[in-house]
Structure 1
């Protein structure tokens, strides 16, 4: 994002209109078009969702939290959060998370 002086790029009438709302501050004007959420363009979001599903599947197959933590190099609390979040979003899976 680059800083540009409005009076150098916008018509005088538009600058005057904008000054009715804000003066002397910096404002952000987003690019037109569809806004995508975090990780959609890069595929990061899908990769994390796939990893989290793998973690949950291993947990439901009977692997304990310590084993899963070592497989994915994540902290115990991260594994517990992932499993809990999936359980909460799918009430039919029920039950508490066992360490």
Structure 2
């Protein structure tokens, strides 16, 4: 997160209004929700996890045991249960 001086980007009237609430402090102004990217959408991490989970669900449907899937994917038994028993997307 970078720091920007309000005097450089905001109109003076707005700065005066903000100063009614806070002065001399750093405040965070979040992005609008429409500007947010979902976790992993830029790096491909979300797609990789979705593919892995789909593969795990398919293997479970094809009679692989939860314990074997946990070993194969280096995940806990509880994590595998969450994946195979969750609703598919």
TM more than 0.5: yes
State the Cα deviation string for residues 42-87 of structure 1 (Å, max 9, x = none).
111111000000000000000101110111000111000111113x
- Taking the TM superposition and a 5 Å limit, the aligned residue runs for 1:1-99 are 1-20=1-20, 22-24=21-23, 25=25, 26-30=27-31, 34-86=35-87, 89=88
* Matches of 1:3 and 1:43, distance apart in 2: 29
Q: Point out where structure 2 has 5 or more consecutive residues left out of the alignment.
A: none
Q: Unpaired segments of 5 or more residues in structure 1?
A: 91-99
Shift of 1:27: 2.2
- Tell me the distance in 2 between the aligned counterparts of 1:29 and 1:48: 27
CA RMSD of aligned residues (A): 2.3
TM-score (norm 1): 0.72
How many residue pairs end up in the alignment? Answer: 86
